[in-house]
Amino acid sequence: MTRVSRPRVVLASQSPRRADILRQLGLEPEISPADVDESERAGEGPAAYVERLAREKAEAVAIDPAALYVGGDTTVVLDDEILSKPVHEQDAVAMLLRLAGRSHQVLSGVAVRSGGRTVSEVVRTTVRMRPFDEAVARGYVATGEPMDKAGGYGIQGRGAALVDSIDGDYYAVVGFPVGAFLRLLGRVGWHFDFASLRATDS
């Protein structure tokens, strides 16, 4: 099959952060959120969980073998427990207080599907939060920012004020590991050329 030099890029996510990062790279993704069951499976570890969801999202919306489908999932892990998006404000406050003054892991899975093949990777980043008290946590929650984010904070927003340091990929913490994405492109036959994609065999 002859590969077009500029494939459609379809993001299987409604995350504005992932879309913004792709646009930052000069790509203009079509947004097609995938409807997949995000429940954890028995015996499934956090890394396997985020990688499976990233793959399922990319595969769920894939209909054009010539297009490039991108899926992603990110979660926060503390003491081997996945911290999902808070349901209520009090959940967010409690979650943030657990993270305060401690290090936790952010696992970000990314998957790329093209030509009927799906490849994926998980990137692990360590984030250390500065010590803060309940008043600070409640003040941050009052901004509304934590409610749609795993772990109850967004490092790319006001939540940056809670972070002391990171060890690893900043973009993975935001929700889309750029380096892993570029590696995966090569595995499905595409090369990123700053604002465009070309087939590696063209």
pLDDT digits (tens, 9 = 90+) for 173-185: 999 999 999 999 9
* Average pLDDT taken over every residue of the chain: 93
pLDDT over threshold 90, residue 91:
yes
pLDDT over threshold 70, residue 3:
no
What are the structural domains, with CATH classification, of the chain?
Answer: 9-199 (3.90.950.10)
Active site residues per annotation: 73
Contact 109, 74 (CB under 8 A): yes
Distance CA 66, CA 114 (A): 7
pLDDT digits (tens, 9 = 90+) for 26-55: 999 999 999 999 988 999 999 999 999 999
pLDDT digits (tens, 9 = 90+) for 101-156: 999 999 999 999 999 999 999 999 999 999 999 999 999 999 999 998 999 999 99
What is the pLDDT at residue 16? Answer: 92
Distance CA 77, CA 174 (A): 15
- Model confidence at 202, pLDDT cuts 50, 70, 90, reads very low
For the chain, give the number of residues.
202
Give long-range contacts, CB 8 A cutoff, 24+ apart: 39-47. 40/82, 46/75, 46/77, 46/80, 46/82, 46/105, 46/107, 47/107, 47/109, 47/122, 47/124
Report the predicted TM-score, pTM, of the whole model to 2 decimal places.
0.91
- Model confidence at 100, pLDDT cuts 50, 70, 90, reads very high
Nearest to 53 by CA among 73, 33, 68: 73
Nearest to 129 by CA among 144, 113, 140, 142: 140
For residue 133, the tally of other CB atoms under 10 A from its CB is 10
